[in-house]
Amino acid sequence: MKNKCVPILGLLAFAVLAQGAEDKVLWYDKPATDWEKEALPIGNGRIGAMVFGGVASERLQVSEKSLWTGGPGSEGGYDYGLPAESQATTVAAVGKQLLDGATLEPEAVAKKLGRKMQNYGDYQGFGDLLIDLETSGEPVRDYRRDLDLDTGVARVMFKQGMVGYRRNYFVSFPDQVLVARWISTAAQKLRVRYTVPDNRSAQTRVEAGASAARITVAGALKSNGLKYAVEVMILPDCGRIAVEGDAVLYEGDCAVTVLVAARTNYLLHYPDYRANVDPAQAAARDITIALKRSFPVLAQRHSADHGALFSRVHLDLGAAFKLPTDRLRSAYGTGNAAADRALEQLYFNYGRYLLIASSRAGSLPANLQGVWNDKATPPWNADYHVNINLQMNYWPAESANLAETAAPLFDFVDGLVKPGKLAAQRFFGAPGWTLFLNTNAWGYVGPIDWPTALWQPEAAAWLAQHYHEHYLFSGDEKFLRSRAWPVMKGAAEFWLATLVSDPRDGKFVVSPSYSPEHGPFTAGAAMSQQIVADLFMRSAEAARLVGDKAFAARLDEALAKLDRGLRVGKWGQLQEWKQDLDDPKDDHRHVSHLFALHPGNAIDPEKTPELAAAAQKTLEARGDASTGWSRAWKVNFWARLHDGDRAHKLLAGLLRDSTLPNLWDTHPPFQIDGNFGATAGMIEMLLQSQNGEIVILPARPVTWEKGSIKGIRARGDVTVDIEWDMCGEKYVELHTGRDATLKVRSGIVGGEHGFGYDKKFKPTFKQEEDLLTFTARRGGMYFLKRAGTHCDQ
């Protein structure tokens, strides 16, 4: 077909296919008994709760992001992972030993560079809100427990005898309290308690007035003296309340509202990490403020706040299916494509929901479990692993139109710079800042003593990428100057000082270097080099924008000599190490050497086809079966290779084998990174913009035969809607936040189509094959429409 571009004046309405709410609700027909697999998460970023929905005994297991053992104040001391004496000579000696192509086993390096974590601490649970209902003992009918992703409200509904019950739960960000509302069609007799684990002191006070009762529990963690307080207000609309021991009793004919405030005296501030506040007073203040609003007002404020973020994006895969979520999940992949798509759509929506619920401004970022934890010693301390996991948590933040949720990540990383400078000095004698595999709420920046994961000084550079991405997506130059640049420059200064010249070829390499959790120590492992290259490229661009020409020149010079970590090996694979050591039979979950494919952008099927082919060879060899987050990363890899069906195969594997009945990702155990990584990957399948072009449907799988997505983001401050069928995109709409020249690559452009815009934003444009280049204006709307709606396939 001859290419033809017909400008259409005026605006076309973009029809979003009507969807039932079914794709935005997780629902079950029985109460949860298992915290990890069945309970439903609600949260406001800082406070999280897991809802069980028990009929006679309800349990809301509560968490608060800052309640951590360990760190300053711990008996026996805490050193942030920093040795008192400089280790720079030892590190340099190990680095030198590796320079001629030698390898060292991780155990040998751990003996020299590993350090035992001392009082690293664990993320803690905050206790349980327990509400017992005196029931008639009659059989329960029409039970439903659900989580409405649209409103951010969990509900429990059932009937018993002639009585109907409904309970609503949410954690409000604007009002900073957990809210529960119990309603029944007959009188209710309730017993409300709040219990805390025994690794803390606890003074419990229970008091009841004529119309309200209060439970306060306050104390400090035995581990480190961190103070905490919870205040529970029980507010019946009518009826009688009384105190019995540590419980509040209620009996009456009315609805009961329960408010829970939770605070600690944690402050994200090196080195003390303590605020000069009394958490009991802070929790009381939260309650006092919340008490000024009625339940409907609290509910409305919560849903408006949540909805403002959640409703920005709509995915429609043409799926509609009515099955409880646990059964929808267990039926996944058994032959009903429409039901499969329903789960995929729900899972995508859930990923966005979870990010909103576990990451809001003013608190710590989402950890390995988001904000939810019920254990005193959770897996991997429920900390911040920075060799993939924390980064993966934030992959959807920009593309899924939830940039605000990245605020806690930036605050947290800003807070790592001070201790990170000491890490750079003590371990390398270098300027700038760094950290290694993992960190906690207490600014931990040292290596640990676990041989296969102690060394990852590229973590700071990788985290700096998120700042630059925020700038690329938003175009916010103020953020670039004031927030991104100091972090990026510090990370770059560290590497400018620590790279060494490789005698094998004179190139700059990282040494000692270690490919995360895999293989031997070498000089110049692919991931190390790719991350440093990524940082230097981004920093050079940023340096020019902020006017730091001298630094840009230093980076350009270093880039000219830098080993980019991009080599094709003897079996056609992308090499994980500078030496060709890759084993084609190795199926390790970390595929770190494909960093340049994703989240980096140095490997691209169009621009670097040989490297893309090598990346594909590597992925084929590693196979599709893996742990939760690893499968999620592979969704992104295959999407970047423009293989939608393979990306979908990985997503299917994740849903089938690495997803729990409550749709949490399981590594195993539960780890939230896979939820976020897969959500980001689903967007990568539909829209990419990492290489200067907005690419529409780069990796749409055949099974997503028709559908639409609305409100996702491309770099350059562009919001994108796409509608497609089996023949590809039918309609693409771009909302542009900046004056800029945009390049859009789309199958529509290659065929007969209309290009439309508002008259007042008339662009100049040119078309080369499937690439449309045009001048976009701030506040503009532009669309591409396939000529003819017919699709023969």
Q: Which is nearer to ligand FUC, 182 or 442 (CB)?
A: 442
Stretch that binds ligand FUC, among 232-240, 275-283, 353-361, 383-391 (CB under 6 A): 383-391
Please state whether the peptide bond connecting residue 669 to the residue before it is cis, i.e. omega within 30 degrees of 0: yes
At 218, list the tokens: 């306050």
Q: Which is nearer to ligand FUC, 124 or 168 (CB)?
A: 124
- In whole angstroms, how close is the CB of 633 to ligand FUC at the nearest point? 11
Residue 517 touches ligand FUC, criterion: CB under 6 A: yes
Q: Which is nearer to ligand FUC, 65 or 730 (CB)?
A: 65
Q: Please identify which residue in 389, 528, 530, 616 interacts with ligand FUC, judged by CB under 6 A.
A: 389
- In whole angstroms, how close is the CB of 669 to ligand FUC at the nearest point? 10
d(CA 290, CA 17): 38
Q: Please identify which residue in 227, 667, 730, 786 interacts with ligand FUC, judged by CB under 6 A.
A: 667
Stretch that binds ligand FUC, among 66-74, 331-339, 382-390, 408-416 (CB under 6 A): 382-390
What are 195's strand-pairing partners?
128
Q: Please identify which residue in 385, 649, 710, 777 interacts with ligand FUC, judged by CB under 6 A.
A: 385
- In whole angstroms, how close is the CB of 515 to ligand FUC at the nearest point? 12
At 450, list the tokens: 């676990």
d(CA 742, CA 732): 14
- In whole angstroms, how close is the CB of 81 to ligand FUC at the nearest point? 16
Q: Which is nearer to ligand FUC, 598 or 715 (CB)?
A: 598
d(CA 706, CA 702): 9
d(CA 13, CA 10): 10
> For residue 724, how far is the Cα from the chain centroid?
27
- The set of residues, in sequence order, having a beta carbon less than 8 Å from that of 241 and lying 6+ positions away, is 208, 209, 211, 212, 213, 234, 248, 249, 250
Residue 380 touches ligand FUC, criterion: CB under 6 A: yes
Q: Which of residues 608-637 bind ligand FUC (CB under 6 A)?
A: 627, 629
d(CA 179, CA 298): 8
d(CA 445, CA 425): 12
- In whole angstroms, how close is the CB of 389 to ligand FUC at the nearest point? 5
Residue 458 touches ligand FUC, criterion: CB under 6 A: no
- In whole angstroms, how close is the CB of 647 to ligand FUC at the nearest point? 21
Residue 684 touches ligand FUC, criterion: CB under 6 A: no
In this structure, are residues 622 and 588 in contact, taking their beta carbons and an 8 Å threshold?
Answer: yes
d(CA 657, CA 709): 26
- Count of residues of this chain found to bind ligand FUC when the rule CB under 6 A is applied: 12
- In whole angstroms, how close is the CB of 351 to ligand FUC at the nearest point? 18
Residue 453 touches ligand FUC, criterion: CB under 6 A: yes
In this structure, are residues 263 and 275 in contact, taking their beta carbons and an 8 Å threshold?
Answer: no
> For residue 451, how far is the Cα from the chain centroid?
27
- In whole angstroms, how close is the CB of 590 to ligand FUC at the nearest point? 6
Q: Which is nearer to ligand FUC, 376 or 740 (CB)?
A: 376
Task: Choose among 147, 139, 135, 123: nearest CA to 199.
Answer: 123
Helix, strand, coil fractions of the chain, as percent rounded to 5: 35, 25, 40
Residue 479 touches ligand FUC, criterion: CB under 6 A: no
> For residue 56, how far is the Cα from the chain centroid?
35
Q: Which is nearer to ligand FUC, 227 or 631 (CB)?
A: 631
Stretch that binds ligand FUC, among 113-121, 380-388, 439-447, 528-536 (CB under 6 A): 380-388
Determine which helix (DSSP H) or strand (DSSP E) holds 242, and give its type and residue range.
Answer: strand 240-244
At 461, list the tokens: 């550079």
- In whole angstroms, how close is the CB of 358 to ligand FUC at the nearest point? 16
* DSSP secondary structure of 570-603: TTSPBPSSSS----TT---S--GGGTTTTTS-S-
- What does the chain come to in residues? 793
Q: Which of residues 72-111 bind ligand FUC (CB under 6 A)?
A: none
Tokens 């576990």 sit on residue: 358
At 351, list the tokens: 């990923």
Stretch that binds ligand FUC, among 43-51, 384-392, 491-499, 768-776 (CB under 6 A): 384-392
Neighbours of 314 (CB within 10 A): 18
Q: Which is nearer to ligand FUC, 40 or 632 (CB)?
A: 632
- In whole angstroms, how close is the CB of 383 to ligand FUC at the nearest point? 8
- In whole angstroms, how close is the CB of 121 to ligand FUC at the nearest point? 16
Using CB under 6 A as the criterion, what x/- string covers residues 555-594 for binding ligand FUC?
A: -----------------------------------x----
Task: Choose among 50, 195, 182: nearest CA to 128.
Answer: 195
Using CB under 6 A as the criterion, what x/- string covers residues 351-370 for binding ligand FUC?
A: -----------------x--
- In whole angstroms, how close is the CB of 58 to ligand FUC at the nearest point? 32
- In whole angstroms, how close is the CB of 397 to ligand FUC at the nearest point? 20
- In whole angstroms, how close is the CB of 670 to ligand FUC at the nearest point? 11
d(CA 372, CA 35): 10
Q: Which is nearer to ligand FUC, 448 or 460 (CB)?
A: 448
Residue 167 touches ligand FUC, criterion: CB under 6 A: no
Q: Which is nearer to ligand FUC, 31 or 378 (CB)?
A: 378
Q: State which amino acid sits at residue 186.
A: A
Q: Which is nearer to ligand FUC, 312 or 588 (CB)?
A: 588
- In whole angstroms, how close is the CB of 437 to ligand FUC at the nearest point? 7
Beta strand pairing call for 694-696 and 740-745: parallel
Residue ranges with strand state E in 57-212? 57-68, 123-133, 140-148, 153-160, 163-171, 178-184, 188-195, 203-208
At 190, list the tokens: 């309730």
Task: Choose among 39, 53, 44: nearest CA to 371.
Answer: 44
Q: Which is nearer to ligand FUC, 592 or 708 (CB)?
A: 592
3-state helix/strand/coil string of 92-115: HHHHHHHCCCCCECHHHHHHHHCC
Q: Which residues here bind ligand FUC, judged by CB under 6 A?
A: 368, 380, 385, 387, 389, 453, 517, 590, 627, 629, 667, 671
